[in-house]
Amino acid sequence: MKAVVTGGAGFIGSHLCDHLIAEGHQVVALDDLSTGCESNLKQLSGHPDFELVKGSVLDEVLVDDVVAAGDTVFHLAAAVGVHTIVDRPLESLRTNLHGTENVVEAAVRRRARYLVASTSEVYGKNDADGLSEDADRILGSPLKSRWSYAAAKGLDELVAYVHGGASGLPCVITRFFNIVGPRQTGRYGMVVPRFVDQALTGEPVTVYGEGTQRRCFGSVFDVVPAMVSLLETPAAHNRAVNLGGKEEVSISDLAQRVIDLTGSDSTVRHVPYEEAYGEGYEDMRRRMPDTSLAADLIDYEPRWRLDDIVG
């Protein structure tokens, strides 16, 4: 395989690069290093089958050039993290929508199969009270700046499907549910690395809201090989597939588990959502993947438990 990994210097992308190189493939990572960093790829530096190209997926000419060298494209580059999205919604929308158009169109021009990384957020809020004409809600989510991420990712899926169908090329969409593991940074609001950083430095572990919201964390080490298997499985082509973990936990329990596992003296501090994200912010009460489609398609079975991931 001659693989192109956009967002290859990021958390999931860098683990994917490691996996592909370990499996004997050639890899070119394309990343603008906005949230990713070169040190995530230091273990591959100088490897004859690996190259990092620094640049943006918004640069159409560069994208076409990079994709021309590949036969498989994993598109992971995106503006991520609640703070990035809430603070710069239009910039995020541009990266997440036009960047995907550039990458998918280049893949189609170059006849490369492709995978597009999407998110559980495309499902909107699964605890909405039912449908109403409430003008500030679209797809079950409040029409707030945060929605730019879910909206762009939903449209990314459409771009991927339509081009996949028209071109006949194998394409897969993966909907990630709270993936965690080494190299994930807490700087952009991701809860597990933020809690770990706070616990290790003895700061209060800050839980937004009451902490009763529930999440299910999946390991990057389960998800990365699944991405490759899905692209190699014809029954998965032109489908969106959930990938995540199995173990559900409340955010309060997660905070306590992180404190226990790190042997920290930190206490838990509750911070109102408004203080963390501004007025009117709404969080999802529960986000839990049904991964039975991935199980049917590729025998996906998450092996990593939350304690092992945090540990």
**Annotated active-site positions, please?**
149
Query: Using the rule CB under 6 A, which residue among 4, 5, 17, 32 binds ligand NAD?
Result: 32
Q: Does 240 bind ligand NAD (CB under 6 A)?
A: no
Query: What secondary structure, in 3-state letters, does the chain show?
Result: CEEEEECCCCHHHHHHHHHHHHCCCEEEEEECCCCCCHHHHHHHCCCCCEEEEECCCCCHHHHHHHHHCCCEEEECCCCCCHHHHHHCHHHHHHHHHHHHHHHHHHHHHCCCEEEEEEEHHHHCCCCCCCCCCCCCEECCEECCCCHHHHHHHHHHHHHHHHHHHHHCCCEEEEEECCEECCCCCCCCCCHHHHHHHHHHCCCCEEEECCCCCEEECEEHHHHHHHHHHHHCCHHHCCEEEEECCCCEEEHHHHHHHHHHHHCCCCCEEEECHHHHHCCCCCCCCEECCCCHHHHHHHCCCCCCCHHHHHC
Q: Does 76 bind ligand NAD (CB under 6 A)?
A: yes
- Residue nearer to ligand NAD on the CB measure, 1 or 58: 58
Residues in Cβ contact with 183 at an 8 Å cutoff, skipping those fewer than 6 apart: 11, 14, 15, 40
- Residue nearer to ligand NAD on the CB measure, 77 or 294: 77
Q: Which residues inside 155-184 make contact with ligand NAD, applying CB under 6 A? A: 176, 178-179
- Residue nearer to ligand NAD on the CB measure, 36 or 209: 36
Q: Does 95 bind ligand NAD (CB under 6 A)?
A: yes
Q: Does 92 bind ligand NAD (CB under 6 A)?
A: no
What the block records as the tokens of 232 is 């190699």
Q: How far is the CB of 206 from ligand NAD (least distance, A)?
A: 19
- Residue nearer to ligand NAD on the CB measure, 80 or 259: 80
Q: Does 141 bind ligand NAD (CB under 6 A)?
A: no
Sign (positive/negative) of CA torsion 198, 199, 204, 207?
Answer: positive
- Residue nearer to ligand NAD on the CB measure, 6 or 198: 6
- Residue nearer to ligand NAD on the CB measure, 179 or 294: 179
Q: How far is the CB of 253 from ligand NAD (least distance, A)?
A: 19
Query: Using the rule CB under 6 A, which residue among 20, 21, 28, 36 binds ligand NAD?
Result: 36
Q: Does 73 bind ligand NAD (CB under 6 A)?
A: no
Q: Does 119 bind ligand NAD (CB under 6 A)?
A: yes
Contact segment (CB under 6 A) with ligand NAD among 34-42, 262-270, 275-283, 301-309 equals 34-42
**Binding residues for ligand NAD (CB under 6 A):** 6-7, 9-13, 30-36, 56-58, 76-80, 95, 99, 117, 119, 176, 178-179
